[in-house]
Homo-oligomer: A and B are copies of this chain.
């Protein structure tokens, strides 16, 4: 869907704002990335300084592509945020607390639609629009990384819930007496399967790898090399993922679950125990057909999903 007023075929300006990097792209109406820029997320700047860095990145991208007319601006940003106003307070970006991201983008791109959603939701949208869930009506997209996030598409449309927060698969409870979660709860999927939590568990079991900053990605790499504690960590994460996905499948009658993020790079070491736990718990007849697959789009998924907020707003944007 091209926005009224934009020439047919105009690209969307897509933006992906994370604690580690800022990425932006021009994305065509079919989902193709036409131009791309990225920068490290600056530290030791205030909110306005971060905004100026982002604005310069976008100006460079658009100018470098010959300043084409834009269909709109789609943005994925780490949560939490007040939605759809997109006053953002990303966990990993302390400089922004209640930062009026959508209002600022609107001021900078007057007359263009500006749509902002959670970054994990953008990844899920992308997997439904152009990735592993393409053509299916009922899809859960997941990102298993520093946190565990996701987005839910049912009957072919993004589910926002009451406040734009639907899709929080990371806080489905997989072990009510399990480890405490950063949300304040206990035994959430994220508490068990997020990279840092899993690395901490592995260290408790005797895993040693470059001190306390070693991440889930390094753990996944060690698992591929056959390190027994790392392999056990992947089993632990896989089991938790399988249980949470079984619950989500029973509640939402899903067809496809696409699992992306750093931990998914462990491949079969993660997906085999995941599938085993899923099949043990998802025993209703209707759950048999669901396919749990690696996300298909990789790194640019967040940008492609942000672009879909503009190019396919009739499916993925339910707000004003």
- Let me know if A92 is at the binding interface, CB within 8 A: no
Q: Which residues of B contact A286 (CB under 8 A)?
A: 80, 161-163, 165, 168
Confirm or deny: A186 has a beta carbon within 8 angstroms of a beta carbon on chain B.
yes
> Oligomeric state, in number of copies?
2
Q: Which residues of B contact A172 (CB under 8 A)?
A: 247, 250-251
Q: Give per-residue flags for A152-176: 1 if the beta carbon is below 8 A from chain B beta carbons, else 0.
A: 1011010111111111111111111
Bound Cα distance A239, B186 (Å):
14
What are the residues of chain B within 8 A of A285 when measuring CB–CB? 80
B155 touches A252 (CB 8 A): no
Residue A281 lies at the interface, judged by CB distance under 8 Å to chain B: yes
A187 to B280 CA separation, bound complex (whole angstroms): 11
Q: Residue-by-residue, is A250-262 near B (CB-CB < 8 Å gives 1, otherwise 0)? A: 1111110000000
Chain A stretch 234-257: residues in CB contact (< 8 A) with chain B: 239, 243, 246-248, 250-255
A161 CA to B184 CA, complexed, in Å: 31
Specify the chain B residue showing the minimal Cβ separation from A289. B162
Are B173 and A252 within 8 A (Cβ)?
Answer: no
Known: A176-B277, A183-B284. 15 other contacts (CB 8 A): A80-B286, A154-B154, A154-B166, A155-B160, A161-B252, A163-B253, A166-B251, A169-B251, A170-B250, A171-B247, A172-B250, A176-B243, A184-B283, A186-B281, A251-B252
